[in-house]
Amino acid sequence: MTPPTPPTLPTVPTLPTVPSRSAAGRLTGLASALLALVAVPACAGCGRPDVVLCADCRAELGGPARVVPVPVWPDAPPTAAAARYDGAVATCVNAWKERGRHDVEPVLGAALAQAVALAAGPRPQLVLVGVPSSCAARRRRGADGVRRLALHAAVSLRSATAASAVRVLPALRLARRVADQAGLSAAARSANVAGAFEVRPHAPPLLAGRPVVVVDDVLTTGATLREAARAVTVAGGVVVGLASVSVTPLRRGLSALSGLD
Ligand SMILES: [Zn+2]
């Protein structure tokens, strides 16, 4: 019997091996969903009442995407971000990451789509691979958020270019425990994530020879994206670009950000 269609993003092709969620994670997600039902919405970027994201904050996330350098990887494939991690954008991203504001995911995903399109250029097919969340982040946030952003980005990309086959592949997982990147120097961030990701057993045949863009929510030094790209490349994927919703100036981001990188 055909299982019922999920209520969100029903047309996005995904693999069946979605990372499992802990009981704590499910409770966190449930609490966020219940809170969203009873709370009066306020702009996730500036707090303006009665709106999920106001027009001004949407505009800050609306691009255009720009090519950005990857500090720890001078020879990185083309890399793009949609917005500067600052002000309302930073507040919005953190509301999504840390305060359960899943209602802004379509906007963040559309921003990510712009960055993907700039990094990869027009292609008949593309695979999006998100960086995996740390175990601590999963406990706090309840799910693999970057994968959800990638799913929204795929929807935006397919609607923008009907001929483009964009697939989201949850190809990576943590190979070992990593510390939170917040507060670490650039060198320490690289050391923290070196060899930290591995490809899931089912993924290599789906990656081999395919053009891949590795995606994340915030780009700081690029250490996490580089490690993710390494793992994808080892499995035979062809990393044609890196893309992020936002990019932070290195000086302030190293001590301000939470999450992997
Ligand atoms: Zn706003």
Counting every residue written for the chain, the total comes to 261
Residue 87 Cα to ligand 1 midpoint, Å, equals 10
Residue 169 Cα to ligand 1 midpoint, Å, equals 32
Q: What's the number of domains the chain is made of? A: 1
One-letter amino acid of 78: P
Residue for token digits 């929204």?
Answer: 152
Give the pair of three-digit tokens for residue 254.
């190293």
Residue 42 Cα to ligand 1 midpoint, Å, equals 8
SS3 160: helix
Domain containing residue 81: 63-247
The closest alpha carbon to 215, from 223, 206, 225, 207, belongs to 225
The per-residue pLDDT for range 36-55, each reduced to its tens digit, is 555 668 999 999 999 999 99
Residue 90 Cα to ligand 1 midpoint, Å, equals 12
Residue 94 Cα to ligand 1 midpoint, Å, equals 14
DSSP assigned state of 104 = G
76 part of a folded domain: yes
Residue 105 Cα to ligand 1 midpoint, Å, equals 15
SS3 235: coil
182 part of a folded domain: yes
Residue 209, φ and ψ in degrees, nearest 5: 75, 0
The closest alpha carbon to 214, from 197, 192, 195, belongs to 197
Residue 206 Cα to ligand 1 midpoint, Å, equals 40
136 part of a folded domain: yes
Residue 101 Cα to ligand 1 midpoint, Å, equals 14
Q: How far apart are CA 199 and CA 222, in angstroms?
A: 19
26 part of a folded domain: no
The per-residue pLDDT for range 186-200, each reduced to its tens digit, is 777 777 777 889 999
Tell me the pLDDT of the chain averaged across its residues.
82
Residue 36 Cα to ligand 1 midpoint, Å, equals 17
Q: How far apart are CA 56 and CA 147, in angstroms?
A: 26
Residue 234 maps to which CATH number?
3.40.50
The per-residue pLDDT for range 111-163, each reduced to its tens digit, is 999 999 999 998 889 999 999 877 666 666 666 889 999 999 999 998 887 65
Residue 51 Cα to ligand 1 midpoint, Å, equals 8
143 part of a folded domain: yes
Residues 260/181, Cβ–Cβ less than 8 Å: yes
184 part of a folded domain: yes
Residue 143 Cα to ligand 1 midpoint, Å, equals 25
DSSP assigned state of 102 = G
Please check the confidence at residue 35 and state whether its pLDDT lies above 70.
Answer: no
Residue 96 Cα to ligand 1 midpoint, Å, equals 14
Please check the confidence at residue 251 and state whether its pLDDT lies above 60.
Answer: no
Residue 60 Cα to ligand 1 midpoint, Å, equals 9
Residue 233 Cα to ligand 1 midpoint, Å, equals 39
Please check the confidence at residue 64 and state whether its pLDDT lies above 50.
Answer: yes
Residue 51 contacts by C-beta under 8 Å, 6 or more apart in sequence?
41, 42, 43
The per-residue pLDDT for range 83-113, each reduced to its tens digit, is 999 999 999 999 998 888 999 999 999 999 9
pTM of the model: 0.79
Q: How far apart are the first and last CA of the chain?
A: 42
Alpha helices in the chain (DSSP H): 23-38, 55-61, 87-98, 105-120, 135-141, 145-160, 186-193, 204-207, 223-234, 250-256
